[in-house]
Amino acid sequence: MKPLRIALTKGRLESKTLDLFDQMGLDTSVVRNKGRRLILPVGDSIEVVLAKAADVITYVEHGVCDLGVVGKDTITEAGGSFYELLDLGFGKCRFALAAPKDKEFFGGYATKTIASKYPNVTAAYFAKKNMDVRIIKIEGSVELAPLLDLADGIVDIVETGSTLKENGLEVVEEVMPISARLIANTAALKLRKAEIEALLDQFEKLL
């Protein structure tokens, strides 16, 4: 039987998932001492693939990985067609709309400009509010855009809010909560039902 292949988002989600595997009694030593390898075994029944968040979705959608662990932020931004089986409960943070402290964000009739690394999340959020905004995609520190007067506000991931505070911004509204999710390829869940459900049960017991 070939192992279940699970794509993990490199970094914190990866180590949290490995902790869960440890608690299940699986041997994660190879992944923890991985060197530069990107495909690694966990016990006999699981194979881990390490990838960037958006790529986890791509690999699962195409079925080259059966399962994936990825943040809700990436799922919401990238979309795609797969099963979202479990809220793993870690990697918690939120999407929020933030703006300079001293200004009334929703005031006035001028069209607002929003800077974000997540243009789709931003567009969906304002569309729901029936608000026409101009969206500018920023790749790095989004907080800069309002400071430089490029944008009226930002939509970004907020954990503690300290970066916002230090840059004179504050949360105007929460957009949505975020945490890590276990996703599955549509065909894999059907073709390998027993194995995936067994793993799912073990995850659920630990959460």
Partner 1 sequence: MQQTIFTTPAGMQDLLFEESRARRQVEKNLTDLFAGRGFAEVMTPGMEFARTVAASSAAMPEEELYKLTDTRGRLLVARPDNTIPIARMVASRLRGEIFPVRLYYAQTVYTLNHGLYGHRDEEFQVGVELLGAGGAKADLEMIALAASAMKACEAGDFRLEIGHADVFNSLIGELPVSDDDRATIRELIENKNYAALNTALDALPESDAVRAIRLLPRLFGGEEVLETLRPLIGSPAAVAALDSLSSLYRALVALGLGDQLMIDLGMVHRNDYYTGVIFRGYLEGSGEIILSGGRYDNLLSRYGMDMPAIGFAIHVDSVAKLRQSGDASRPVPQVLIHAEAGFETAALAEAEAMLADGVVCEVSPFETTEQARAYAESRGISRLWTVGEEGNE
Sites of contact with partner 1 (CB under 8 A): 58, 60-64, 78, 80, 82-87, 181, 184-191, 193
Radius of gyration of the chain (CA): 20
* Minimum gap (Å) between residue 24 Cβ and partner 1: 20
- When the beta carbons of 12 and 62 are compared against partner 1, the nearer one is 62
**Of residues 28 and 122, the one with the C-beta less far from partner 1:** 122
Starting at the earlier edge strand, list the strands of the sheet with 83-87. 39-42, 46-51, 4-9, 67-71, 180-184, 83-87
In Å, how far are 47, 60, 137, 159, 204 from 121, measured between CA atoms?
32, 21, 11, 17, 28
* Minimum CB–partner distance for residue 63 and partner 1 (Å): 1
Determine contact, residues 54/76, Cβ cutoff 8 Å. no
SS3 content of the chain, % helix, strand, coil (to 5): 35, 30, 35
CB of 167 to partner 1, least distance (A): 31
- By beta-carbon proximity to partner 1, the closer residue of 64 and 206 is 64
Q: Could you tell me the two tokens for 96? A: 């929020």
Task: In angstroms, give the least distance from the CB of 76 to partner 1.
Answer: 11
